[in-house]
Structure 1
Amino acid sequence: MQETLTKTIIFKLNNQEYGTNIAQILSIEKLQEIVALPQTSDFIKGIINLRGIVTPIIDLRTRLGLNQIEETEQTRILIAKVKDVQVGLIVDEATDVIDISPEIIEDTPGLVKDVDHRYLKGVAKLEDRGMLLLLDLDYVLSTEELSEVQQVTQD
């Protein structure tokens, strides 16, 4: 029986490769000017107007508790649908789209330091690129945080 492969977008944060299901990614955008918002969580960088849609921008590095680095030419915004809310996720670089077989995915070991394991679906062991941390976008923002993000776009 054929296992279903998952199309996964690969992106980098702090030189570590992460992946997430491409089905949630609407587009990949170059970094653009972000309008900062007062009185929001520290990981909400602000909003952008993306083709007429006010889109809240999440700094994925801050959200995951990683060190900040300077933005570069490779910095991208992944436009994603998280529980029916369109958000932008700032990543250091979006590098690839690959197919991942469920049989190479293992549960997230408690050993993964730097990132809260609740945000991870698992770890894929890839022959050609080592370990890939699989991010679960539905858990990157809690229900309360999602409503905060939605509030931002409606004010």
Structure 2
Amino acid sequence: MEDMSKIIVFKLKEQEYGLSISDILSIERVMQITQIPQVPHFVKGVVNLRGDIIPIIDLKERLSIGETTHTGDTRILIVEKNNAKMGLLVDSATDVMDLDSSIIEPGPDMINDVNDIYIKGVAKLDEKLILLLDIHNVLAEEEIHAVNAATV
């Protein structure tokens, strides 16, 4: 039997990325983001999501590939790491798909200016590549603590 995994596909600039569906709690439309002082530059602020205060991270800024401009397609991917919820701001969330592990290859050292520590692998689909993010490396432990301390 083939080893399949389900991912959420989203865009940053024109590149498609994927995160395991098990890493994502929900996908939300952009709402009012309240800025907070003294946080890393990629933390845009916080939102009140159904009674939870969630820090919002601009994933483009975190990966050093630009800054997200809010459009009607912009989404927030709600994830949890070390019992802390956070939102990842992305240009759009485009698809849910099943991936056969046989089409996933390890990523090279640098892909589209994104450091390889953030990339779990690359899925080759027909004429396009989907970069599979490692959510556990996107934020270092000390950054999570800094974000949580500033949002309490």
Q: TM-score range by the shorter chain?
A: over 0.9
Tell me the TM-score normalised to structure 2 length: 0.95
Aligned partners of 1:56 and 1:152 also within 8 Å: no
Q: In the aligned structure 2, how far is the partner of 1:116 from the partner of 1:49?
A: 31
Tell me the TM-score normalised to structure 1 length: 0.93
Find the counterpart in structure 2 of residue 122 from structure 1. 121
Q: In the aligned structure 2, how far is the partner of 1:16 from the partner of 1:153?
A: 31
Q: How many residues align?
A: 152
Aligned partners of 1:58 and 1:90 also within 8 Å: yes
Q: Aligned-pair RMSD on alpha carbons?
A: 1.2
Aligned partners of 2:78 and 2:86 also within 8 Å: yes
Find the counterpart in structure 2 of residue 7 from structure 1. 6
CA offsets, 1:28-86, max 9 Å, x none? 11101101011110001110010000100000010000122521100000011123211
The unaligned stretches of length 5 or more in structure 1 are none
Aligned partners of 1:76 and 1:92 also within 8 Å: yes
Aligned partners of 1:119 and 1:140 also within 8 Å: yes
CA offsets, 1:113-151, max 9 Å, x none? 311110000100012x51000001110000101111221
Q: In the aligned structure 2, how far is the partner of 1:31 from the partner of 1:152?
A: 21
Find the counterpart in structure 1 of residue 147 from structure 2. 149
CA offsets, 1:3-41, max 9 Å, x none? 321110000000100001010111111101101011110
Q: In the aligned structure 2, how far is the partner of 1:89 from the partner of 1:3?
A: 31
Find the counterpart in structure 2 of residue 20 from structure 1. 19
Question: What's the offset of the Cα at 1:111?
Answer: 4.4
Question: What's the offset of the Cα at 1:112?
Answer: 1.1
Residue 151 of structure 1: SS of its match in structure 2? helix
Q: Aligned residues: percent identity?
A: 47
Q: Which structure shows the bigger proportion of residues in strand conformation? A: 2
Aligned residue identity for 2:3: T
Find the counterpart in structure 2 of residue 132 from structure 1. 130
Q: For 1:1-155, list aligned pairs within 5 A.
A: 2-127=1-126, 130-154=128-152
Q: In the aligned structure 2, how far is the partner of 1:96 from the partner of 1:44?
A: 25
